[in-house]
Amino acid sequence: MKLRLGRINISDIRFGEKTQVRHGVLWLNKEEILAALIDERLEKVELDLARPGEAVRIMPVKDVIEPRLKTEGPGGIFPGFLSKVDTVGEGTTLVLSGAAVVTVGKIVGFQEGIIDMSGPGAQYTPFSGTCNLVVTCDPVAGLNQHEHEVAVRMAGYRAAAALARAAQDAQVDSWEEYEHLNFPAGREKYPDLPRVVYVYMLQSQGLLHDTYVYGVDAKRILPTLISPTEVMDGAIVSGNCVSACDKNTTYHHLNNPVIHDLYRRHGRDLNFVGVIITNENVTLADKERSSSYTAKLADMLGLDGAIISEEGFGNPDTDLIMNCTKLEKRGIKTVLLTDEYAGRDGASQSLADADALADAVVTGGNANEVVTLPPMAKVIGDQEPAEVIAGGFAGSLGADGSITVEIQAIIGATSELGFNKRSAREV
């Protein structure tokens, strides 16, 4: 499989008469986009813009989505939702790099988060650096939580698709090419390089903790193999309300830095064999089944090493350690990517589970660290939930509009994909 990504660099976003890209500015026809978002489940939809450096706060955030347009090859972006379920990951896809759609509105689940476009909070989230179309969705009265989540999620995808049409006639600033060989071809081409796989743990605990693969809820799957280029084409999307700091938004999935870093080393000092996607479960039997199946797939591939990333914390720590120990016992060396909930002083146990075989761990930081976010000139959405979202507490919202929270309330602050600027070290 071979995928070409054409990146169109976006440095500003504005409303105008036509949705198009001119000289790095993404112009949006507001009425056309709103027309694409009509949904009987939504009473009101509003569009706002948020640019890097502005005194703007966005909350409570549901998802962040990068606009991409497939122009050549099978399928389309977000298969199973906006396009048919053809296998993606081949052909040509255009990317509005630097632009994003952010969905916000009345709170669905308590684990939704904050994006500050400036100030100290901006340092914790990658989306303070993107040019954002913010889609605020208010549900009709009486809509249940699950339908509310679906309606807002689909509004985000449709808005991203509406923006992505601007890429059709835009000048491409740079091209990237990614190839995924089948297993015999990869072994023949790189016979002496260590064979490495990426074990991609997907949040799938249910109760608004969901991730979708080609439109299928990940808790319904057994671990399976997927090409890394499929991930870049939107085969995996977020539908969850885990803590904001380590939520993998749809934007994270499209731009997974683990996949990109492995590609950079592919053919040089390792053979990037592919991706094993596995779910994070609730019951012990399901955890045992998925982790054993993951280890079996890894063993069948004849691997030397694996990188395992987690999404969420607490209960999924058990899935992480099970995946690690079962691979290690088969002679496959593992590196774990996680974050920590070590208490505000950093002195508590970082993970809910541990094992001596988990001896190579990279952390995205301590989510319990407390930060005060100063008041912003403009709030898109509603900051009243500051005291009830994960990371908030009684007294979080100050009378002046400032917010004091643990950084777990900030979108992407301790990303377990390394999509952030923080880490930690033992002292």
What gap in Å lies between CA 96 and CA 114, rounded to an integer? 23
CA 202, CA 279: separation in Å to the nearest integer? 5
Collapsed DSSP state (helix, strand, coil) of residue 288: helix
- Cα 319 vs. chain centroid, distance in angstroms? 19
Residue pair 104/134 in contact (Cβ under 8 Å)? The answer is yes
Could you tell me if 226 and 199 are in contact, meaning their C-beta atoms sit under 8 angstroms apart? no
Q: What is the DSSP letter of 52?
A: T
Which one is catalytic: 137, 241, 245, 324? 241
Residue 148: what residue type? H
Cβ proximity of 196 and 271 under 8 Å = yes
Length of the chain (residues): 427
Burial environment of residue 189 by CB neighbours within 10 A (0 to 12, 13 to 18, 19 or more): exposed
List strand residue ranges (DSSP E) for 78-157, in order. 91-97, 99-105, 113-116, 131-139
Give the CA distances from residue 307 to residues 37, 164, 200, 273, 417, in Å, rounded to whole numbers and listed in that order. Answer: 38, 32, 8, 12, 10
> 168: number of CA atoms within 13 Å, CB side?
8
Q: How far apart are CA 69 and CA 16, in angstroms?
A: 21
Asked if 241 is an active-site residue, the reply is yes
Tokens of 291: 């982790």
Contact present, 209 and 242 (Cβ < 8 Å): yes
Q: Which residues are catalytic?
A: 241
